[in-house]
Amino acid sequence: MSSLVARVKSAQKSLSRLLYSREHIADDPFMEIWKICVNAQTKGAKYLMQLMSTGDIIQEDLENRKQLVFNRARGDDDSSHGTKFRTYVHINPHMTVSPMYVGCTGIPDRDRVYATRLRLSSHKLAIETGRWSRIPREDRLCPCGVIQMEEHVICHCPLSDHIRSQFGTVSFSNIAVF
């Protein structure tokens, strides 16, 4: 989702449609004020002219936000949240909106909320609770003895085999499909 700043700028940029639609109207008070502001080089006029000369603000913002997540996942910044970003990129490598959030998919809200928590590392698996307690990663273990990460629980853990078997038509080989 784009940032609030990008959405506000995009709405401000839509003022250009108003300018173009009124530029040929004789004695239009709005256009007269606009011309005065442009000629006086006011901050507002400069700002709006700069906005009108930019590309798709929303799309650029989305791309910048995706790049920020990829950079943090690689550890290219000073963020202490690199492992959460790595997990998110592992689950959603193409940074796309999951079908469960688009339209009516028949997924109950409760299940969608659980899936969202898993995708955002907002759960109580050992990998996350250990982060809160500053437990070393290798000590954040599942009862089966392996590091209890999202992919382990969904795809590999013998303790969740019975749940996977209930969904025989679903492939649990790759966490990125969730």
Q: 151 in a domain, yes or no? A: yes
Region of residue 161 (phi > 0: left; psi between -120 and 50: alpha; otherwise: beta): alpha
Q: 145 in a domain, yes or no? A: yes
- pTM value? 0.61
Q: Quick one: 104 and 45 in the same domain?
A: no
The per-residue pLDDT for range 38-51, each reduced to its tens digit, is 999 999 999 999 99
Range of the domain at 51: 4-55
Give the pLDDT score at 103: 73
Q: Are 126 and 140 in contact (CB under 8 A)?
A: yes
170: CB partners within 8 A, 6+ apart: 164
Give the pLDDT score at 107: 80
Q: 78 in a domain, yes or no? A: no
- Per-residue pLDDT band for 114 (boundaries 50, 70, 90) equals confident
Q: 89 in a domain, yes or no? A: no
Q: 77 in a domain, yes or no? A: no
pLDDT tops 70 at residue 171: no
Query: How many domains is the chain partitioned into structurally?
Result: 2
The per-residue pLDDT for range 126-163, each reduced to its tens digit, is 988 998 899 998 999 999 999 998 889 888 899 988 88
Residue with tokens 């998110």: 88
